[in-house]
C-alpha cells in the first residue's frame, strides 16, 4: 500500500490509500498543513463550491502550512490537486455508508427479483418517457420477459404476472389514471370479448376517442385479433372499427338511460355485426405500426424499423453494432438515429453527436464540422442512416464510438451499393399492360442524375434476355417506390446486390 505522504497512513489506511470521504479531506489538511477544524471545514466548503478565487486562497494557505512542516512544495501541490478532485464527489462518511447499504439492497433485489425490481423502477418513472425508454432497454438486456400493454391484464402501473413485467397503461401517452380505473373496474366482471364489448362496458365520458386511439397504437387491444390476422391487420381493423363501435355504444347507453327496451323486455344490446362487418381494411405496413407505438409509448415495443432492412443492410454493413471492433480501417455501420446533439466546435463551426441503434446495441457517432457541413441535412431523429467511419475506443465511456466520414440515407446506400432494380419475369408470363403499369409507377421517381437502373428479366419460347431501361428511366430507389413495385408486380421486384 502506498500513500501520497507517509504521515497520511493513519488518514487513508482504512480506504486503501484512496481519498473517499469528506472527513479525510479535512484530516489531510490538519495533518499536513496544521489546519484547525474550522480552517479544514472552510477548505471542504471551498472545494465543494469550486469557486476559483476561494480555491486560490485556500491553496495558498495549505501550501504555506505544508512548507512550514518541511513537505516538498511540488508534492504539496499534487496532494491538494488530489484532494480537490475527490472533494468534487465525496460524501461524508455517514452518508457514504448509508448509500452503500441502499446500493447493496437494490443490487440484491435486482439479482434475485429482477421482474419485480424493474417493474417498481418503471412505475416510479413512468411519467418520464425518456427514463422509461432506458429502463425498457435494461429489461431487454436482462432478458426479463416483457408483456405489452393489455386492457385485460395491465394495471395503471407496471406490474408482474408469472415472472413477466406487464406494461402499465399509465405509461401510454394521453391515458390517465381515470380511464385506467374505468377499465379495471369494467373487467372485474369478465374479460373483454372484443372492441365492441369494450366500448359498451365503459362509459364514453371516461374514455374518449383519443384515449382509445392511443390504446390501439400501443397494442393494448391486440388480443382482439381475428383468426388468421397478423398484428398489422388487427390494428388497422380496430382503427377502422373504432368510430362505429363508440357510436353504437353511445346509442345503446342513451337508449338504456331513456328506459327503452326490446320487445321481450330486456335492455337493448349492441348488434353483434356492427364491428365484425368491417374487416376488409388495408393492413398497416410494419413501419406505420411501429411509428404508432413510438408515438404512444415513446419506444418501439413489438419490433424495430431496421428489421425491414436487415437483408439489404447485410450487403454493405458486414457487422451489427454489437459485433463492431475498434479498427483503423473504415467500416460501414447502420442504425436508426435515437438522439442528436448539435454543438459548436472550438472554432465555432457546427458539429454533431448522434446515437445509432440497430437493436443489437447502440453506438455514439461524432460528426465533425467538415463532415457535418456536407451531410448534416440528412441527420434527423428516427432516420435510418448508413455511416462510414473509423470505429475507435471511447476512453470516456469505455465502449466504442464512431468518427463519421460519410453519411448515407437508405436510398443513397442503394444507389451506392446496388446495381439497380430487377423485375423478374423469367419464370412467368409478362402481362400485356406491363409497360403502361411500370411507366405509371416509376414516372414520379425519375431523376436526371445518378439514381438506379431498372432491368427486366424476360423469358420467351426461343430466348431469354436482361433488358435494361435507358438512362432517362433511372429512378431514386426510395422505400415508397420499392413497395409500390413489389405490390404491383407480385413480389417479382428485387434490388440487385450481386456485385455490391
Task: Specify the pLDDT at position 397.
Answer: 76
CATH numeric code, 309-412: 2.40.50.140
Percent of the chain whose predicted confidence (pLDDT) is above 70: 94
Alpha carbon of residue 177 to chain centroid: 25
pLDDT at 389 over 50: yes
Alpha carbon of residue 424 to chain centroid: 38
Task: Specify the pLDDT at position 167.
Answer: 96
Q: What is the mean pLDDT of residues 74-101?
A: 84
For 408-436, write each residue's pLDDT tens digit. Answer: 999 999 999 999 999 998 888 888 899 99
Count other Cβ atoms within 10 Å, centred on residue 253.
Answer: 17
Task: Specify the pLDDT at position 2.
Answer: 83
Measure the CA–CA gap between 400 and 324, rounded to whole angstroms. 8
- CB-side neighbour CA atoms (13 Å) of 483: 9
| First-to-final CA distance of the chain | 59
Task: Specify the pLDDT at position 437.
Answer: 93
Q: What is the mean pLDDT of residues 121-135?
A: 89
DSSP one-letter code for 470: P
Between 388 and 382, residue with greater pLDDT: 388
For 322-357, write each residue's pLDDT tens digit. Answer: 899 999 999 999 999 989 999 998 889 999 999 998
Percent of the chain whose predicted confidence (pLDDT) is above 90: 54
Task: Specify the pLDDT at position 222.
Answer: 96
For 292-303, write each residue's pLDDT tens digit. Answer: 999 999 889 999
pLDDT at 45 over 50: yes
For 146-190, write each residue's pLDDT tens digit. Answer: 999 999 999 999 999 999 999 999 999 999 999 999 999 999 999
pLDDT at 498 over 80: no
Q: What is the mean pLDDT of residues 370-386?
A: 94
Q: What is the mean pLDDT of residues 467-491?
A: 91
Give the residue from 498, 334, 500 showing the smallest Cα distance to 415: 500
Q: Whole-prediction pTM value? A: 0.74
pLDDT at 257 over 50: yes
pLDDT at 254 over 50: yes
Task: Specify the pLDDT at position 267.
Answer: 47
Helix extents (H) in 424-478:
434-442
Task: Specify the pLDDT at position 161.
Answer: 94
Task: Specify the pLDDT at position 261.
Answer: 55
Q: Check: CB of residue 318 under 8 Å from CB of residue 242.
A: no
Q: If you average pLDDT over every residue of the chain, what do you get?
A: 88
Q: What is the mean pLDDT of residues 441-461?
A: 88
pLDDT at 500 over 50: no
Query: Is the Cα dihedral 476, 477, 483, 486 positive or negative?
Result: positive
Where are the chain's structural domains?
6-93, 113-288, 309-412, 418-495
Measure the CA–CA gap between 180 and 159, rounded to whole angstroms. 14
Amino acid at each position: 500500500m502506498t500513500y501520497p505522504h507517509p504521515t497520511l497512513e493513519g488518514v487513508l489506511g482504512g480506504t486503501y490509500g484512496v481519498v473517499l470521504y469528506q472527513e479525510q479531506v479535512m484530516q489531510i489538511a490538519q495533518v499536513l498543513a496544521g489546519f484547525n477544524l474550522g480552517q479544514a471545514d472552510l477548505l471542504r466548503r471551498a472545494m465543494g463550491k469550486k469557486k476559483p478565487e476561494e480555491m486560490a486562497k485556500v491553496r495558498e494557505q495549505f501550501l504555506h502550512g505544508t512548507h512550514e512542516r518541511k513537505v516538498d512544495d511540488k508534492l504539496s501541490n499534487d496532494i491538494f490537486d488530489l484532494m480537490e478532485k475527490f472533494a468534487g464527489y465525496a460524501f461524508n462518511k455517514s452518508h457514504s455508508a448509508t448509500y452503500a447499504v441502499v446500493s447493496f439492497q437494490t443490487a440484491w433485489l435486482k439479482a434475485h427479483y429482477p421482474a419485480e425490481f424493474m417493474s417498481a423502477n418503471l412505475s416510479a418513472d413512468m411519467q418520464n418517457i425518456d427514463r422509461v425508454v432506458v429502463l425498457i432497454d435494461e429489461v431487454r438486456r436482462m432478458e426479463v420477459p416483457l408483456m405489452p400493454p393489455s386492457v385485460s391484464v395491465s394495471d395503471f402501473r407496471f406490474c408482474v404476472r408469472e415472472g413477466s413485467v406487464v406494461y402499465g397503461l399509465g405509461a401510454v401517452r394521453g391515458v390517465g389514471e381515470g380511464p385506467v380505473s374505468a377499465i379495471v373496474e369494467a373487467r372485474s366482471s369478465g374479460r373483454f370479448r372484443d372492441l365492441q364489448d369494450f366500448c359498451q362496458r365503459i362509459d364514453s365520458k371516461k374514455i374518449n376517442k383519443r384515449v382509445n386511439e392511443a390504446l390501439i397504437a400501443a397494442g393494448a387491444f391486440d388480443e382482439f385479433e381475428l383468426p388468421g390476422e397478423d398484428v398489422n391487420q388487427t390494428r388497422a381493423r380496430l382503427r377502422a372499427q373504432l368510430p362505429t363501435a363508440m357510436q353504437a355504444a353511445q346509442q345503446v347507453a342513451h337508449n338504456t338511460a331513456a328506459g327503452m327496451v326490446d320487445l321481450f323486455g330486456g335492455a337493448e344490446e349492441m348488434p353483434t355485426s356492427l364491428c365484425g362487418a368491417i374487416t376488409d381494411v388495408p393492413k398497416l405496413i410494419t413501419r406505420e405500426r411501429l411509428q404508432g407505438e413510438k408515438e404512444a409509448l415513446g419506444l418501439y415495443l413489438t419490433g424495430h424499423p431496421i428489421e425491414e432492412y436487415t437483408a439489404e443492410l447485410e450487403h454493405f454493413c458486414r457487422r451489427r453494432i454489437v459485433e463492431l471492433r475498434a479498427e483503423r480501417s473504415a467500416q460501414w455501420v447502420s442504425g436508426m438515429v435515437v438522439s442528436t446533439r448539435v454543438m459548436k466546435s472550438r472554432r465555432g463551426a457546427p458539429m454533431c453527436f448522434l446515437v445509432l441503434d440497430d437493436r443489437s446495441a447502440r453506438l455514439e457517432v461524432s460528426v465533425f464540422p467538415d463532415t457535418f457541413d456536407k451531410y448534416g441535412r440528412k441527420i434527423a431523429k428516427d432516420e435510418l442512416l448508413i455511416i462510414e467511419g473509423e470505429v475507435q475506443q471511447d476512453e470516456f465511456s469505455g465502449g466504442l464510438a464512431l468518427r463519421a466520414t460519410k453519411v448515407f440515407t437508405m436510398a443513397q446506400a442503394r444507389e451506392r451499393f446496388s446495381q439497380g432494380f430487377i423485375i423478374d419475369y423469367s419464370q412467368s408470363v409478362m402481362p400485356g399492360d406491363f409497360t403502361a403499369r411500370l411507366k405509371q409507377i416509376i414516372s414520379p421517381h425519375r431523376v436526371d442524375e445518378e439514381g438506379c437502373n431498372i432491368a427486366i428479366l424476360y423469358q420467351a419460347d426461343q430466348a431469354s434476355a436482361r433488358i435494361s431501361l435507358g438512362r432517362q428511366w433511372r429512378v431514386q430507389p426510395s422505400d415508397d417506390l420499392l413497395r409500390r413495385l413489389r405490390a404491383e408486380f407480385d413480389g417479382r421486384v428485387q434490388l440487385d446486390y450481386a456485385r455490391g
